[in-house]
Structure 1
């Protein structure tokens, strides 16, 4: 009995020594030992091997955090500029062009038959130029075969020279026949028109030849009026 008790004591001591030995070995290989918390960076600020040196977006420090866009002070919108241009200066009116003499070169001349007065024609001249023109005196008319210009009716002389602005017209009445004198009227198909200058001389360089309406008869007692501003005045005589 005593030897068995001694054997049991020895085995217990041996087991205790073995346990202690195993505990010591476990601290060396790290299988059972508790490891301390690891930091990403050491005391010198170096990153732990295997980790990124750039901090995560969600781990920025308070000093690097910018205020949200809505928290920035808003600058009041600038009032729109209203640059009122200076008042436009009116363009100076062009200086009026000086008038010239009406001729066949700067006018259009037509002849028409009228119903009243009977045996009358109406001569119309229209300024086609770019400046006013003076219709001096009366037109100088010559029918086919006539030896002289048609007689001018002096009673139709206006108070002032007729001035035609560009695009406007003047008129002269033609009385084809007068008091019967026993002679037969002359037939004609064409009418030559020559303008007069300031001195009542002919401007032969710009004469106009017109076709008469049908066969027109005239006699030596016929007449032509001075140029008139109104058609009615030209057909009064």
Structure 2
């Protein structure tokens, strides 16, 4: 009886040990199974994460860079276009500054000037010629006007002492002046009455007249003598009337 109980106890003990080993094995397998399941999940996540990071980097380097390039190029083109416009305007201020629209000077004649003759109180027996530039270009009033009273054959004498320091240049609207001494010394000379005087302009070479002359009506009662004179063109009225 005791042996049977002992044998049964031993058998039970052996069974418990076997069950314990089986349980341990099952736990180990379960743990291995969980670890195995966790490992593939971790391995699966890592490639996807790396791929996503690589795709994001590629997108920045390719997709985003391509999207920004047109914007940058468009901005550059706009700036260049404005610069070109500014250059064009600047080109126009440069062309205006070099050309400035000023025409080359020409010779003053009856065609581009308005000539008048007036009687002055001082000095006595003097008339004043005024030639005003009516053209669009500057003109040179060379030397002295050549005068012809009515049908006189000889040219009226020119006063050499009145030569100016420089040729008189008239901008459009400006005037030149010359005085006419109707009679000079000595007194008692023969006087000639005239109603008209023709004013001729001379060129740079001072050889005869050039261009159209100006025919003027003289102030009433004008008389002149053979020893009268006309001055050179002056830029100031007072300079003309001082002789």
- Give the TM-score normalised by structure 1: 0.61
Q: Where does 1:29-178 land on structure 2 (aligned, <5 Å)? A: 89=90, 91=93, 92-93=95-96, 94-178=100-184
Deviation at residue 180 of structure 1 after TM alignment: 2.9
Name the residue aligned to 2:197: 191
Q: Which has the higher strand share?
A: 1
Deviation readout 1:171-201 (Å, 9 max, x if unpaired): 0011000113543210000000000001112
**Paired residue secondary structure (2:151):** coil
Deviation at residue 205 of structure 1 after TM alignment: 4.0
Name the residue aligned to 1:200: 206
* Residue ranges of structure 1 left out of the alignment (5+ in a row): 1-84
Runs (4 or more) in structure 1 with deviation over 6 Å come to: 85-88
Deviation at residue 202 of structure 1 after TM alignment: 2.9
Equivalent of 1:230 in 233, 236, 239: 236
Measured in 1, the distance between the counterparts of 2:153 and 2:189 equals 16
8 Å contact 1:109–1:208 — kept in the other structure?
Answer: yes
* Residue ranges of structure 2 left out of the alignment (5+ in a row): 1-81
Alignment length, in residue pairs? 155
Deviation at residue 144 of structure 1 after TM alignment: 1.5
Q: Which has the higher helix share?
A: 2
Measured in 1, the distance between the counterparts of 2:199 and 2:173 equals 20
Deviates more, 1:137-146 or 1:86-95: 86-95
Name the residue aligned to 1:42: none
8 Å contact 1:103–1:203 — kept in the other structure?
Answer: no
8 Å contact 1:126–1:170 — kept in the other structure?
Answer: yes
Equivalent of 1:215 in 221, 237, 240: 221
Measured in 1, the distance between the counterparts of 2:130 and 2:198 equals 14
Q: What is the RMSD computed on CA atoms of the aligned residues?
A: 2.0
Deviates more, 1:224-233 or 1:139-148: 139-148
